[in-house]
Amino acid sequence: MYAIVRKRELAPHTNLFEFSAKEITVKTKPGQFVILRIDEDGERVPLTIAGANVEKGTITVVCHEVGKSTKQLGRLKEGDFVQDLLGPLGKPAEIRKFGTVLCVGGGVMVAPLHFQAEAFHEAGNTVIGVIGARTESHLIYEDEMRKVCNELHVATDDGSRGYKRMDFLKGLLKAKKVDRAIVMGPVVTMKTVSEFTRPYGIPTVVNLIPIMVDGMGMCGACRVTVGDRMMFACVDGPDFDGHQVDFEELMARLKMFTPQEKLAFVFQEEGGRSQ
């Protein structure tokens, strides 16, 4: 059992959780994830690690509520426990001195992006940060990103704060020499930014979050196509070359279980109300 030692609401339906998990903390590197199960009957929920505090023996994740299990997690409080926390899983991000690193994050994935941006900063890179969200109230980790970025840009889908959408990046890429780009967030953001960097030949790493089950390369659920190769995001990634990923296939596979997910959500909400 893993205790929630800290919980904070960062934005609507978006919570930070700090779990006591000493054995995971000591092995964790930026870019890796855990798979969480709330109780014995719980679904397996992959979440990217947003921080690890070795002294306290805690890991941090930030979760946006989208369906049955993430809503259930959102209802837990400090002092509550989850049944399982498996990790760290996946390959760590490649962190070394590249020169100027552009770190682009959207929505809830800005939190784990910060973990990487901090590491790039500590490795001596110039870090240009870009954080985005649907609207101003959904922006997270702005202060934290400002501390580890040499410059930080903010964008929202509705223009309520900063630039409207990510199109301003075209001008930024024209004006600056960027040696590497990291993109974490919605598939559409990863696809768009990869197209922006392609003409400049900037190596672009995207952090893929397809549907996962075992997280260990055995079930095949997280299959993605990268160039002419089939890869499993849980063990071969989750970081891949954004110029090679088949984003259309990824988007289609993410929608594969939509009817079942909606049903599971309705059953849980109805069950929750009748209790």
192 binding ligand FAD? (CB under 6 A): no
133 binding ligand FAD? (CB under 6 A): no
Q: Which does 142 bind (CB under 5 to 8 A by kind): ligand FAD, ligand FES, none?
A: none
108 binding ligand FAD? (CB under 6 A): yes
Cβ burial of 29 (10 Å; 0-12, 13-18, 19+) is: middle
- By CB under 6 A, what part of segment 14-53 binds ligand FAD? 33, 43-48
DSSP H helices in the chain: 22-25, 68-74, 110-122, 142-148, 168-175, 187-197, 233-236, 247-254, 258-274
Spatial CA neighbour of 129 closest among 166, 103, 101: 103
Nearer to ligand FAD, 173 or 209 (CB): 209
DSSP 58-120: EEEEEEE--SHHHHHHHT--TT-EESEEEEEESPPP--S--SEEEEEEEGGGHHHHHHHHHHH
What single letter denotes the amino acid at residue 109? M
Nearer to ligand FES, 99 or 220 (CB): 220
Asked whether 103 and 130 are in contact (CB, 8 A), the reply is yes
Asked whether 145 and 116 are in contact (CB, 8 A), the reply is no
Cβ burial of 63 (10 Å; 0-12, 13-18, 19+) is: buried
218 binding ligand FES? (CB under 6 A): yes
43 binding ligand FES? (CB under 6 A): no
Stretch that binds ligand FAD, among 92-100, 133-141, 146-154, 257-265 (CB under 6 A): 257-265
76 binding ligand FAD? (CB under 6 A): no
Q: How far is the CB of 135 from ligand FES (least distance, A)?
A: 32
Nearer to ligand FAD, 168 or 257 (CB): 257
Binding test (CB under 6 A) with ligand FES, winner from 38, 149, 222, 245: 222
Stretch that binds ligand FES, among 6-14, 93-101, 171-179, 217-225 (CB under 6 A): 217-225
230 binding ligand FES? (CB under 6 A): no
What φ, ψ does residue 186 adopt, rounded to 5°?
-60, 150
172 binding ligand FES? (CB under 6 A): no
Residues that bind ligand FAD (CB under 6 A): 33, 43-48, 61-64, 66-70, 108, 112, 209-212, 238, 254, 258, 261, 265
